[in-house]
Amino acid sequence: MHSENIKNQPKIVVLGSCSVDFTTYCPRLPVPGETLHGTKFTTSYGGKGANQCVAAAKLGGNTYMICRVGDDQWGKQYKEYLKNLGVNVSHTYLTQDVTTGIAQISVAENGENQIVIVAGANNFLTKSDVDLAKDLIRDADLIISQLETPFETTLEAFKLNNGIKLLNAAPARTDIGAILPYCTILCVNEPEASLIVNFKVEMSNVTDALKKILEFGCDTVIITMGEKGAVYSTKNKSDCVHVFCDKVKPKDTTGAGDAFVGALAKFLTDDKNQPLHQIVGAACEVATLSVTKEGTQTSYPDDFSYYAKKYDYTIL
């Protein structure tokens, strides 16, 4: 249950996916048709929506999860697990005769991964669920969503919310133009940005990509760039800002982007007077910490403070 001090904090509502991760660790990723011997197998909780919610919750955020899981053992266990982490699960629904979403993940020794997802109950998150949670969504200080659940459901929620609307446009797709004018912040990685702008995004042309995406109507665009940090720009300023992060030897990069988004949400609602480069830098650090440990949600830090730190950045 939320403690009183958590309840009094800004509301972070996550509308999105819950999945169970079946992860195999192997020396390298297999090529098509190849069978490899792995070194370890784990079962854990995942899904981009829940990952981001847990990342924010572990940092002390007042989080609410709007999602659908199956009425199988995994769905019931997942709901209880989220509740024990302090996430409000009053709008986490068990879906009859449907399996909980799953992700099949392979992780190589160098930290690279391959992921196949089966959406299951995530496909059943509808506008009706948004209507049931409309008061919560409308009053949320910040709402996060992704693209692992039906697009029209996310669009409906973003139209309702009066706070910060943070869209992580992942997995990548091109038909998201209708929601971009409702986005306070759009967060994408390089491949996702590339699909939106129709050219390969890299550091040499990232400013062009940011400017082009801003033309679609969102207020701020952040492109995460792995060990190179993140680059962002806002529609009211011409500057593109590159925020750096520490380089580490990764053990498992799975869920690092979700760690960034969840941390970003928490820090955006912490102190609105913090400059954006500080908030982005802190979110980069949380993501960096996560890749130094195996696992997804288990790798997210729960003891982190960035207020005394100064993150390096440059204007591009």
Whether this model's pTM surpasses 0.85: yes
**DSSP reduced 3-state for 163:** coil
Least confident of 2-11, 109-118, 147-156, 272-281: 2-11
Distance of alpha carbon 178 from alpha carbon 27, whole angstroms: 42
Residue 238: pLDDT band with limits 50, 70, 90:
confident
Q: Which residues neighbour 197 within 8 Å (Cβ) at sequence distance 6 or greater?
A: 208, 209, 212, 213
Cα–Cα distances (Å) from 209 to 17, 49, 92, in that order, read 28, 25, 36
Sheet holding 142-145, edge to edge: 92-95, 62-70, 11-15, 142-145, 164-168, 185-189, 220-224, 230-234, 240-243, 313-315
Taking alpha carbons only, the member of 301, 283, 316, 312 closest to residue 60 is 301
For residue 12, give the DSSP letter: E
Identify the bridge partners of residue 94 per DSSP, sorted by sequence position: 69
Annotated binding-site residue? 226 = yes
Annotated binding-site residue? 11 = no
Distance of alpha carbon 94 from alpha carbon 76, whole angstroms: 7
Angle at 167 between CA 173 and CA 209, to 5 degrees: 60
pLDDT beyond 50 at 104:
yes
Reported as a single tens digit per residue, the pLDDT across 33-63 is 999 999 999 999 999 999 999 999 999 999 9
Cα–Cα distances (Å) from 104 to 21, 35, 37, 43, 45, in that order, read 6, 15, 16, 10, 12
Distance of alpha carbon 279 from alpha carbon 312, whole angstroms: 12
151 and 175 Cβ atoms separated by less than 8 Å: yes
What is the token pair recorded at 89?
A: 């699960």
Annotated binding-site residue? 70 = no
Annotated binding-site residue? 314 = no
Q: Where are the domains of the chain?
A: 4-315
Catalytic residue set? 258
pLDDT beyond 50 at 2:
no
Reported as a single tens digit per residue, the pLDDT across 165-190 is 999 999 999 899 999 999 999 999 99
Annotated binding-site residue? 21 = yes
Fold of 4-315: UDP-N-acetylmuramoyl-L-alanine:D-glutamate ligase (3.40.1190)
